[in-house]
Amino acid sequence: MNAAALYLLLTLCACSASDSYPKAQNIIWQSTNFKTVLTWEPKPTDAYSYTVEYSVIGADRQRNPHCIRSSTSWCDLSSSLTDLKANYTADVLSEPPRGVTSDLTEPPYSTSPRFCPYKDTDIGRPDFKLQVSEDGSKITLYVTDPLTNLFQDGRQRTIRDIFSDDLQYLVTYRKSESTGKKQHKSKDSVIELTGLDKGESYCFNVQAYIPSRRTDKQLGEMSQTHCSNVENKSIFDVYSTGSIAAGVLLVLLLIGAAIAVAVVCYRRRTNARMNGQDKVTQGV
Ligand SMILES: *[C@@H]1O[C@H](CO)[C@@H](O)[C@H](O)[C@H]1NC(C)=O
Ligand SMILES: *[C@@H]1O[C@H](CO)[C@@H](O)[C@H](O)[C@H]1NC(C)=O
């Protein structure tokens, strides 16, 4: 075999090897509160690796050092997508394993869907506290803005820091013994609900609401349910009217019985005394 034939053979082998690297499939942006991880399939074998190249659409491609010749099928790009309002795409390249050199000029690759952090990241569930006014007709919700995965000057930023006036909260509430729901939208993280029925317990859920987004991305994850406690329920709220009536009747019956017993005893004693007097009189 001469040198040219050997070279041809090696080139063919390299080509067929690279052709056998599977292309990434099902590329998905998984993103909540700006923690953004690109995932795909399949998991690589020892025979190959993945490299991710991302870019603002139309601009230069960039690489994240953690996602070059990597043997995982995900890449955390949270700190890479710095222009939150830009549209990004990412290419996932199937390459030889780390440390293996390759003459490949064009590795097989697939391109992700478009992703804009500001428009597309999911918003996680907020937490909140309740405060009931003295007279029970007003309830104030203190919502804690969820933290993001973004930092500025060493401080973790909240979704309010990012969305500012674009962020609202949607409160869904109902009386605790009813299923009829009401909703209230608030631009503020401190939310006052007024005109509530005194002495009623209410249950609340809160979720972020970003009206400037596409409809299917406007609502964040629903919070846990918190209910107001009613400490000063009047006796009529705690017990039904029927059981109160029964209670009153029972008390009346007991009093009646006591009176009856007292009267009977009194009569007996009086009779006994009179009989005794009679006997005394008779004896004299
Ligand atoms: C991102 O893409 C959307 C939809 O194609 C477009 O409306 C928007 O202007 C783009 N944003 C930027 C910053 O280019
Ligand atoms: C409950 O009762 C106490 C004492 O009677 C009163 O000070 C308080 O304001 C009441 N709270 C509510 C929510 O009605």
Please name the residue whose Cα sits nearest to atom 7 of ligand 2.
Answer: 134
Q: Whose CA is nearest to atom 3 of ligand 1?
A: 87
Distance 148 CA to ligand 2 centre (A): 39
Q: Are 21 and 94 in contact (CB under 8 A)?
A: yes
pLDDT at 137: 87
DSSP 31: E
Least-confidence region, from 146-160, 194-208, 266-280: 266-280
Average of per-residue pLDDT across 253-268: 89
Q: What is the pTM of this model?
A: 0.71
Please, which pLDDT band fits residue 273 given cuts at 50, 70 and 90? confident
List of domains in the chain: 3-120 (2.60.40.10), 127-238 (2.60.40.10)
- The tokens describing 245, both together, are 């009536």
Q: What is the pLDDT of residue 100?
A: 84
The average pLDDT across 86-107 equals: 87
Quote the pLDDT of residue 115.
97
- Which is it for strands 127-132 and 109-111: parallel, antiparallel or unpaired? unpaired
pLDDT at residue 284 tops 50: no
Closest CA to 83 of 36, 147, 46: 36
* Residue 85 near ligand 1, beta carbon < 6 Å: yes
Residue-averaged pLDDT of the chain: 87
* Per-residue model confidence (pLDDT) at position 179: 86
pLDDT for residue 5: 55
Q: Is residue 23 over pLDDT 70?
A: yes
Separation of CA 230 and ligand 2 centre (Å): 10
Nearest Cα neighbor of 90 from 71, 63, 122 is: 63
**Exposed/middle/buried for 63, CB within 10 Å: 0-12, 13-18, 19+?**
middle
Closest residue (by CA) to atom 5 of ligand 1? Answer: 87
Nearest CA to 33 out of 118, 152, 154, 144 is that of 118
